[in-house]
């Protein structure tokens, strides 16, 4: 059987691979069944080679499983890979094709959301360009660059700023609030809509869109919560430099390329802002892994940062060597994996999980919810467009906005008008 002339089999392959799905996973999601004519995966493979024609119902299921509009499957040719902006990562090992495909899908989704936000800003006569985007360079001294960002965030006293905070999550919440007050959208996103499509922090830790109307920061929420503050300030530094792109984990490799130098700069700026030099002045040279771990524990407790970030600062301030720092990071990574596995097991045995809307609101952030909500109430966007920006179904938009002060509900608004 020849495939429908309107369907290019290469497009089916592209749609599946860019969704980060193996042929077996995709066949299951689409609902294909195994039988005498072959397994479900073999049937999908036949569609992707043009030997078998997908039905309209199967195409619709593919579109849903691959996070694509149905019309995308009718394209004449697969499009070019997603534009990630710059790639600032230094990868020790190649990224698996499936993980790379998931990252492309996530970046594509974020760029689509951000472009809609920018269009909304352009239509708002009161929206003015943000003046700090692109104002720093890698030649700016680290302390000066950190000082500029601190001034923008309204941080005058490093210790006083942390007064009343109990843990790294409190620090992140306050930094996020201040970043959002600068009109930077900060969202938590580390999968394509389910835990089955989670992207490891080893593949990407953050993503920044350095736009002067609608700048956006994406933090991989698959990473340890204690690391989110560092990623937030790191990506904010990219926006101050004017860089759009993907960032990874800090590395001890010497930065020999322009992008590697930018990444090291942003790491150092974030480190200086969150753990200033004066906090390390009293620390002696630390020769052992145990000594670095102990000092990182103290710094984590006093400054509400992650132990890995504290270890990074100790290395960068020459309080320990690269080999010791690398081993500390490895140990901390193993500890985090065990803790995460334990947490998953506890959640699996729990009778009730976290409320969907509470989790979703936390991931999206107040700034994005308020902006989209006000646009919706002003008829600047439809519920369908709002759903696209928020990454939910149209029917979930109003429940998401229901607790945002000053927005009311769509039902109330329609009744009032």
Tell whether 101 and 65 lie within a shared domain.
Answer: no
* Residue 355 confidence class, pLDDT cut points 50, 70, 90: confident
Tell whether 317 and 334 lie within a shared domain.
Answer: yes
Per-residue pLDDT at 137: 95
Question: Of 274, 296, 316, which marks where a domain is finished?
Answer: 274
H-helix or E-strand spanning residue 11: helix 9-18
CA distance 70 to 75: 10
| Global confidence as pTM | 0.83
Tell whether 387 and 268 lie within a shared domain.
Answer: no
Spell out the long-range contacts of 400-406 with Cβ–Cβ below 8 A and sequence spacing 24 or more. Answer: 400/357, 400/360, 400/361, 400/364, 400/369, 401/369, 401/372, 401/373, 401/376, 403/357, 403/361, 404/366, 404/369, 404/370, 404/373, 406/370
Q: Is residue 266 part of a domain?
A: yes
Least confidently predicted of 79-93, 259-273, 302-316? 79-93
CA distance 352 to 348: 9
Tell whether 219 and 301 lie within a shared domain.
Answer: no
Q: Is residue 3 part of a domain?
A: no
Tell whether 103 and 225 lie within a shared domain.
Answer: yes
CA distance 344 to 337: 11
* Residue 81 confidence class, pLDDT cut points 50, 70, 90: low
Tell whether 17 and 30 lie within a shared domain.
Answer: yes
Domain tally for the chain? 4
Q: In the predicted model, what is the mean pLDDT of residues 147-153? A: 98
CA distance 262 to 260: 5
CA distance 69 to 56: 13
Q: Is residue 191 part of a domain?
A: yes
Q: In the predicted model, what is the mean pLDDT of residues 220-243? A: 97
Question: Of 74, 102, 129, which marks where a domain is finished?
Answer: 74
Per-residue pLDDT at 71: 79
Q: What are the pLDDT digits (tens) for 308-322?
A: 999 999 999 999 999
Q: Is residue 224 part of a domain?
A: yes
Tell whether 105 and 194 lie within a shared domain.
Answer: yes
Per-residue pLDDT at 82: 60
Q: Which residues of 389-416 are buried (b: 16+ CB within 10 A; e: fewer)?
A: bbbbeeebbbebbbeeeebbebeeeeee
Least confidently predicted of 1-5, 56-60, 92-96, 107-111? 1-5
CA distance 124 to 113: 17
Q: In the predicted model, what is the mean pLDDT of residues 48-53? A: 91
Per-residue pLDDT at 4: 45
Q: Is residue 38 part of a domain?
A: yes
The fraction of the chain above a pLDDT of 70, given in percent, is 94
Tell whether 137 and 246 lie within a shared domain.
Answer: yes
CATH code, 64 = 1.10.260.40
* Residue 351 confidence class, pLDDT cut points 50, 70, 90: low
CA distance 357 to 77: 38
Residue 102: domain span: 86-274
Per-residue pLDDT at 315: 97
Q: In the predicted model, what is the mean pLDDT of residues 51-63? A: 91
H-helix or E-strand spanning residue 56: helix 56-65
Between 144 and 99, name the one with better pLDDT: 144
Closest CA to 328 of 252, 217, 383, 403: 252
Per-residue pLDDT at 244: 96
Q: Is residue 79 part of a domain?
A: no
CA distance 258 to 88: 9
Is residue 413's pLDDT more than 50? no
* Residue 1 confidence class, pLDDT cut points 50, 70, 90: very low
Q: What DSSP state is assigned to residue 74?
A: G
Q: Is residue 250 part of a domain?
A: yes
Supply the mean pLDDT for the chain: 90
Q: Is residue 81 part of a domain?
A: no
> Which residues, at least 6 apart from 53, have a Cβ–Cβ distance to it below 8 Å?
1, 2, 3, 4, 7, 47
Question: Among the ranges 95-109, 163-177, 183-197, which has the highest mean pLDDT value?
Answer: 163-177
Q: What is the DSSP string of 381-397?
A: S-HHHHHHHHTS-GGGH
Tell whether 93 and 165 lie within a shared domain.
Answer: yes
Number of H helices and E strands in the chain, helices first, is: 18, 5
Tell whether 381 and 237 lie within a shared domain.
Answer: no
Tell whether 211 and 326 lie within a shared domain.
Answer: no
Tell whether 310 and 256 lie within a shared domain.
Answer: no
Per-residue pLDDT at 311: 97
Question: Of 218, 239, 274, which marks where a domain is finished?
Answer: 274
Tokens of 140: 């700016």
Q: What is the DSSP string of 301-343?
A: HHH---HHHHHHHHHHTTSS-HHHHHHHHHHHHHHHHHHHHHH
- Give me the residues paired with residue 86 across strands: 245
């Amino acid at each position: 059987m020849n495939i429908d002339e309107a369907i290019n089999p290469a497009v089916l392959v592209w749609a599946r691979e860019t969704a980060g799905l193996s042929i077996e996973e995709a066949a299951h999601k689409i609902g294909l069944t195994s039988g005498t004519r072959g397994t479900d995966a073999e049937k999908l493979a036949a569609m992707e080679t043009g030997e078998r024609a997908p039905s309209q119902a199967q195409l619709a299921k593919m579109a849903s499983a691959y996070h694509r509009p149905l019309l995308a499957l009718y394209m004449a040719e697969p499009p070019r890979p997603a534009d990630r902006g710059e790639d600032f990562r230094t990868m020790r090992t190649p990224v698996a094709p499936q993980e790379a495909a998931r990252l492309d899908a996530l970046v594509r989704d974020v760029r689509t959301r951000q472009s809609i936000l920018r269009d909304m800003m352009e239509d708002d006569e009161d929206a003015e360009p943000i003046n700090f985007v692109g104002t720093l360079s890698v030649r700016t001294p680290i302390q000066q660059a950190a000082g500029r960002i601190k001034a923008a965030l309204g941080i005058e006293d490093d210790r006083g700023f942390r007064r009343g905070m109990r843990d790294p999550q409190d620090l992140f919440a306050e930094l996020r609030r201040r970043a959002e007050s600068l009109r930077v959208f900060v969202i938590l996103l580390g999968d394509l809509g389910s835990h089955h499509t989670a992207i490891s922090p080893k593949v990407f830790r953050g993503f920044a869109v350095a736009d002067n109307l609608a700048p956006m920061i994406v933090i991989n929420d698959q990473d340890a919560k204690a690391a989110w503050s560092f990623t937030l300030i790191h990506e904010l530094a990219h926006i101050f430099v004017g860089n759009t792109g993907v960032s990874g984990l800090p590395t001890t490799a010497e930065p020999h390329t322009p992008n590697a130098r930018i990444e090291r700069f942003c790491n150092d700026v974030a480190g200086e802002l969150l753990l200033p030099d004066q906090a390390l002045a009293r620390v002696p040279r630390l020769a052992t892994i145990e000594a670095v771990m102990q000092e990182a524990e103290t710094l984590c407790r006093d400054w509400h940062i992650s132990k890995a970030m504290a270890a990074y600062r100790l290395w960068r301030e020459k309080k320990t060597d690269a080999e010791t720092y690398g081993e500390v990071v490895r140990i901390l990574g193993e500890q985090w994996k065990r803790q995460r596995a334990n947490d998953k097991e506890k959640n699996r045995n729990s009778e009730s999980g976290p409320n969907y809307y509470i989790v979703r609101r936390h991931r999206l952030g107040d700034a994005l919810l308020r902006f989209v909500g006000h646009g919706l109430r002003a008829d600047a966007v439809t519920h369908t467009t709002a759903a696209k920006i928020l990454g939910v179904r149209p029917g979930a938009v109003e429940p998401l906005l229901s607790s945002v002060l000053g927005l009311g509900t769509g039902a109330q608004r329609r009744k009032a008008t």
